[in-house]
Structure 1
């Protein structure tokens, strides 16, 4: 059995726009046994915070508040130090007192720099790994938030799991419209409607391992061109620069080919490479591997315990801005000898 002290600690980033129900969700999560030994990091914007006063953890939960700034800017250094120091700070007699970390961002935070901290900061990545991004979306005001605020679009676009809250306050038509818009924005993310923040903690563990069924397509090698995401900016002009690209490969990938492909993908990454999530079938490996990429940072493959939906195939999802689908499809020759299927026109 592997000594748990030498395993990297899973980190879940909980984000969502102002008033979308993050604290309500967090309050009920940490009372559940599966989340009892959690280190919770709460970020608030401004000198006087209220979220930490509204948050009531179980007696086994450790809580750290970061205030006077947003995690995506001024407090990022504090986050790095908090994670780096937590391994010894929250230990007793040489035993770490937490098994996972939950970072609740401010409602104004862009998740990308936070994910970069977990994935790339050397003294953080040595001890921690990204478990997934969970984003809460208010069913009543979610579409308006997506329309007016780029932060809300970034939070939804980088999610592994989208939790639609306050569904009791919105009619079915509004909820359905929001779900459809979220699917266009992030087809890789699972979606679930919740009320009063109630959801089993087990359903939120390792959300990054799953890719939503909506991204599944048939064929040996079938790239699917992402439709433009019609995301109005503050001046109500349509932003058609952001696209979701989904690719499925049914043949296993040779490890040597994967290494070359990852190196090439890393050369393409930058501020417009919003997110890569891939569940990969690697030749001669019985279990799948997951790869995360955020902007400039690519995380090495990490093996999962089992296939998320039982299908032993590779599924790759890219969320990009102003990056042509052809540029991504061209990289597939590094993974397979097959040529990409013709993309739909129009």
Structure 2
């Protein structure tokens, strides 16, 4: 069975280490490997994390950002953990705490696609810490902070004991990630670990009525939901995903959801991708609710919502004026304007 990996991120000063300390002190992280990444020559965060677990459970990556200069070290570290598990070391989960300057997407891609890693580990989810005091300024000024929120499965508001989050901050979080309700770090049931990504994806709901619903942030990140009320041929789903991977990888930050397919209609197909990297499609044993519907949540940037929606419409057989159908797009991916 693969080992879940939980990514804890958040902009500089958001309180990631404090959250991690709390979880360590609670005793809830037994048999957990913690990978701490820092930027600079001295690992300050590593010194701040309490010694609440065995020394060899803490693995620190220094000299750069986890998502860029030390990605190779991350692969090496996970391979080392894999060897320990094969040797009998009990390991229930891995937590990666990224630097505040990290884009989580490349970290997700390593776990989902690196040879030897994807077979042993799986992405369980992304937890993003947002400071109630400084979060709004960080989101307004730094693309990294916006991306961290957009990719989150859980958003934890920190330092709410000092000041409550402003309505502007809550509105900005909802615009960047409308499907995640922020939780207070001071709540008694806050946890850095999530359910399996498959289960998390199955809980996706619509953000409103209609074919697609979207929120747009002034800094170019959009979150919207694609829905379809009839079963889709599984081959069409594969072609749709392949075309997204090949033509829109830089603009598509993340896609996750469930698809109602003509094949095995009682078992929805789970789709999860980060930019050009997608997990192998998996099927749930049954529908998570009585409503059968394809629901794909897309987080993109640079105004590509229309093009992604047009592709989806073409591959689900929805006729649109001035938009080519599936056959035309398959033969010529540049057929959609703006591709």
Cα displacement (A) at 1:184: 0.5
Report the equivalent of 1:189.
180
- 1:36 is paired with a residue whose SS is coil
Cα displacement (A) at 1:210: 4.6
TM-score, normalised on structure 1?
0.81
- Whole-Å separation in 2 of the counterparts to 1:203 and 1:96: 20
Cα displacement (A) at 1:227: 4.3
Q: 2:299 aligns with which of 308, 319, 323?
A: 319
Residue 218 (structure 1) aligned with residue 209 (structure 2): yes
CA RMSD of aligned residues (A): 2.8
Q: Verify the 8 A CA contact 1:42 1:65 in the aligned structure 2.
A: yes
Report the equivalent of 2:72.
77
Report the equivalent of 1:158.
151
Residue 292 (structure 1) aligned with residue 287 (structure 2): no
- Whole-Å separation in 2 of the counterparts to 1:335 and 1:29: 45
- 2:182 is paired with a residue whose SS is strand
Q: 2:103 aligns with which of 93, 106, 110?
A: 110
Q: Which moved further from structure 2: 39-48 or 256-265? A: 256-265
Q: Which moved further from structure 2: 261-270 or 136-145? A: 261-270
Change (3 A) 1:285 1:39: farther
After superposition, what is the alpha-carbon deviation per residue over 1:56-80, rounded to whole angstroms, capped at 9, x for unaligned?
Answer: 3334982211112111221111001
Q: Verify the 8 A CA contact 1:281 1:312 in the aligned structure 2.
A: yes
TM-score, normalised on structure 2?
0.83
Cα displacement (A) at 1:40: 0.9
* Residue pairs, 1:1-346, within 5 angstroms: 7-32=1-26, 35-56=29-50, 57-59=52-54, 62-88=57-83, 90-91=84-85, 94-171=87-164, 174=166, 176-195=167-186, 198-201=188-191, 204-206=194-196, 209-210=200-201, 215-219=206-210, 222-224=211-213, 226-231=214-219, 241-283=220-262, 284-304=264-284, 311-333=291-313, 335-339=315-319
After superposition, what is the alpha-carbon deviation per residue over 1:248-291, rounded to whole angstroms, capped at 9, x for unaligned?
Answer: 22333332332222222222232222221223334425444432
Q: Verify the 8 A CA contact 1:68 1:75 in the aligned structure 2.
A: yes
- 2:102 is paired with a residue whose SS is coil
After superposition, what is the alpha-carbon deviation per residue over 1:162-217, rounded to whole angstroms, capped at 9, x for unaligned?
Answer: 11111122236x1x32111111012233421222x853438733467158877433
Report the equivalent of 1:237.
none
Structure 2 gaps, min length 5: 322-339
Change (3 A) 1:31 1:325: same
- Whole-Å separation in 2 of the counterparts to 1:319 and 1:142: 20
Q: Verify the 8 A CA contact 2:38 2:45 in the aligned structure 1.
A: yes
Structure 1 gaps, min length 5: 1-6, 232-240, 342-346
- 1:91 is paired with a residue whose SS is helix
Q: Verify the 8 A CA contact 1:188 1:211 in the aligned structure 2.
A: no
Change (3 A) 1:149 1:332: closer
- 1:124 is paired with a residue whose SS is coil
After superposition, what is the alpha-carbon deviation per residue over 1:130-159, rounded to whole angstroms, capped at 9, x for unaligned?
Answer: 111110000111001111222111111111
Cα displacement (A) at 1:114: 1.1
Q: Which moved further from structure 2: 138-147 or 22-31? A: 22-31
- 1:10 is paired with a residue whose SS is strand
Change (3 A) 1:53 1:199: farther
